[in-house]
Amino acid sequence: MRRLFVIGVGGLTLLGSGLYFFVYLYRWEWNRAVVSGLIFLAVEVALVGLVISARLTKLARAVETGAEHPARRSRIATRLHEAPAEPSAAFSWLRSSGSGSSAPVFIPILMGTGLALSGAAWLVERIGRATARNSSDPHIAARMSRLGPPPGGLLDDSTDPLRLLRHPASPR
């Protein structure tokens, strides 16, 4: 469509400039005749280039697609279409294996159980974190305070000088 429009405009221009070339010659207006002739020449060269380029494109396309050996080309194309597509290799362990054992069925069961256990463990951890109390428990402090030596030290005999004699191993 566009090509037709271009050729139409070119043809009209050629016609007009050619006609006016002779009209200006008749009127003795040389400069205008020269300009008219120049326009005619330029449009003619453009149109010739367009035609040649279109021919070249058609030729190149014919060479590419191989206008010769059409029978062979169609045979090969049929073979390529008939060949089946490669089967997908994803989830091949899910399909029933050749030996007939149905052990692979347990794989998703085990995976699901593992997932459930992980979820339970996570829940337990969350609950534990929420309910565990602070380290500043007063009972802990009381119990830990009994771990130290007695008030005067282990060798203190100020209240009872015979203490160590009577109770060598006792801390009191």
Partner 1 sequence: MRTARNVVILLVVIGAVLFGVHALEEATEYHGGSGAAATTTVVFTVQEKQFSHGADLAATTLWETCVGTLGWSDTSDPVRQADGSYQAEVHPSLPADTRRRLRGCLEDLTLDRIRGSVTRIASS
Nearer residue to partner 1 within complex by CB, 22 or 106: 22
Out of 7, 30, 38, 58, the residue judged to bind partner 1 by CB under 8 A: 30
Query: Within 8-27, which residues bind partner 1 (CB under 8 A)?
Result: 22, 25-27
We find the least distance from the C-beta atom of residue 13 to partner 1, in angstroms, to be 20
We find the least distance from the C-beta atom of residue 31 to partner 1, in angstroms, to be 4
Give which of 37, 42, 35 is closest to 18, Cα–Cα.
37
Nearer residue to partner 1 within complex by CB, 35 or 46: 35
Nearer residue to partner 1 within complex by CB, 5 or 28: 28
39 binds partner 1 (CB under 8 A): no
Nearer residue to partner 1 within complex by CB, 32 or 163: 32
We find the least distance from the C-beta atom of residue 36 to partner 1, in angstroms, to be 12
If you count them, how many residues does the chain have? Answer: 172
Query: Within 41-100, which residues bind partner 1 (CB under 8 A)?
Result: none
Which tokens hold the place of 12?
């009209």
Out of 10, 13, 18, 32, the residue judged to bind partner 1 by CB under 8 A: 32
Residue 156 neighbours by CB distance under 10 Å: 13
We find the least distance from the C-beta atom of residue 11 to partner 1, in angstroms, to be 20
Tell me, by CB under 8 A, how many residues bind partner 1: 9
We find the least distance from the C-beta atom of residue 38 to partner 1, in angstroms, to be 13
According to the 3-state scheme, what is the secondary structure of the chain?
CHHHHHHHHHHHHHHHHHHHHHHHHHCCCHHHHHHHHHHHHHHHHHHHHHHHHHHHHHHHHHHHHCCCCHHHHHHHHHHHHHCCCCCCCCCCCCCCCCCCCCHHHHHHHHHHHHHHHHHHHHHHHHHHHHHCCCCCCHHHHHHHHCCCCCCCCCCCCCCCCCHHHHCCCCCC
Q: In the complex, which residues of this chain contact partner 1 (CB under 8 A)?
A: 22, 25-32
